[in-house]
Chain A
Amino acid sequence: MAVLGATNSTPPPTIPITVSQTWTPPLNGTAIIHCIGGGGGGSGFGNNGRGAGGGGGYSRKAVTISTSTNWTFVVGGGGNGNYNSSALAGGNTTATDGSSSLTANGGQGGQGSAGGTGGTASGGDVNNAGGAGGFDGGGGGSVGVYGTGDAGDGGASTSTYNMAGYYGGGASDAQSPFMGWSYGVLGGGGPRGRNYSGYSSVAASGLDGPLQGGFLSGGGGVFSASYNQQMAGGNGGIGGGGGSIRAAINNSIVGCGGSGGNGLIVVMYLTVT
């Protein structure tokens, strides 16, 4: 079956960019540039820090690219998680070539009173904000490919020992195999990190814990039921926010929030000339 835009049986290349650089296209043609901002870090629970990180923004644009031009790519890193409030924000991801300028801002780090907001985006044909991080041991926000990113679930209730259940980070809305060729559509959304509501006996055995977020998804949060735990929030997947920690015992430092996922740039050739 013929594939629209394909010039032969070999799909045009898809090139992931994970580190900032000056990039010269290897081929002339048309492409979609995808920019994903870094996810914000999640906060722990000391001095009332318990918000999860926001997801990175998302921007994409169809462009004509040439081997005679250079792009400046800056890839945003994921924000570090924190033991307390005010975890670090994710970095901004930008792609510029003089005529196009895409920006996908990083998600805000988790705060003491709320989850971090999702990163905004601009300069593309499509610009979506990342999902907000959850609160009280909630999960990180996700990257939104088709709309605003999914927010991380809120975690535990403010009622002591009211367990949160299995909520978690924001889920990615992207589908299909991980960065497989899909005619410019970013695919491969991974599963969200699951929230972990822990009792000491389980935590001590090391049998369970918050899950890391999959591709474009937020990390899981933790509700710690007692002093008998040292936990870490789940890290976000690419662009996803880090999960937060909520302890049943006020102002106890039970662990560090998860780190946000690094940002990413993906160049998906549509046609090669």
Chain B
Amino acid sequence: MTAYVIKESNGTVINPAALGELDFFKKIYPDKVIEKVEPLTLSSKELAEQEQQEAKMWRNTELDRTDTLYLVDDYPDKDKLKTYRQELRNWPSTADFPDKKPTLGS
């Protein structure tokens, strides 16, 4: 069900979220301003910040996941793992961050 904000013409809010049909509200509030309540969204700057945070989450998870593997003495291709972990650490300060993730063995 859609929610509408009901306002006076000067912008004073009468009801911040009334649930119902637009036609009903037009009928009972004939001289009021009626606008659909829109979901709150992030600004472009906040979206970019959130994308960076999500990338850091992924990076930290990868470091956690490979941390135990790195302790295994005879883990195969350990040099590649070491390189990968260093790339993960450096990633936030590179131009590839946050769009292009490091990959193991690259």
Interface residues of A (CB under 8 A from B): 18-22, 38, 41, 46, 72, 74-84, 87-92, 106, 200, 204, 226-230, 252-254, 256, 262-263
Contact partners of A20 in chain B: CB under 8 A: 18-21, 24-25
Q: Quick check: B16 and A228 within 8 Å, CB to CB?
A: no
Q: Could you jot down 30 A-B contacts, CB within 8 Å?
A: A19-B21, A20-B19, A21-B24, A38-B17, A46-B46, A46-B49, A74-B18, A74-B20, A75-B18, A77-B3, A80-B37, A82-B40, A83-B40, A83-B46, A83-B50, A88-B37, A88-B40, A89-B16, A90-B16, A200-B61, A204-B61, A227-B57, A227-B60, A228-B57, A228-B60, A230-B57, A252-B53, A253-B42, A253-B46, A254-B53
- CB < 8 Å neighbour of B16 from A72, A91, A254: A91
Contact B15 A74 (CB under 8 A): yes
CB interface residues, B 17-51, toward A, < 8 Å:
17-21, 24-25, 28, 37, 39-40, 42, 46, 49-50
CB of A20, distance to nearest CB on chain B (Å)? 3
Cβ–Cβ contact B53 & A253, under 8 A: yes
The 8 closest A-B pairs by CB, nearest first: A20-B20, A91-B17, A77-B3, A77-B17, A89-B16, A77-B19, A82-B40, A92-B15
Cβ-defined contact, B20 with A227, below 8 A: no
Bound Cα distance from A78 to B16, whole angstroms: 9
A254 → B minimal CB distance (Å): 7
Please give, as numbers and ranges, the residues of chain B lying within 8 Å of A76 by CB-CB distance: 15-19
B79 interfacial contact with A, CB 8 Å = no
CA–CA, A228 to B62, complex, Å? 11
Report if B56 contacts A (CB, 8 A): yes
Total count of chain B residues near the partner, CB < 8 A: 26
The answer to whether A88 and B16 have CB atoms under 8 Å apart is yes
Residues of A contacting B72 with CB < 8 Å? none
Q: Which residues of A contact B46 (CB under 8 A)?
A: 46, 83-84, 253
- Smallest CB–CB gap between A173 and chain B, Å? 24
Q: Give Cα A210–Cα B17 distance, bound, in whole angstroms.
A: 25
Complex Cα spacing A252 to B61, Å: 18
Indicate whether B54 reaches chain A with its CB closer than 8 angstroms. Answer: yes
Q: Are B19 and A80 in contact (CB under 8 A)?
A: no
Docked CA distance A101–B63 (Å): 62
Q: Any chain A CB within 8 A of the CB of B1?
A: yes
Residue of A nearest to B58 (CB): A228
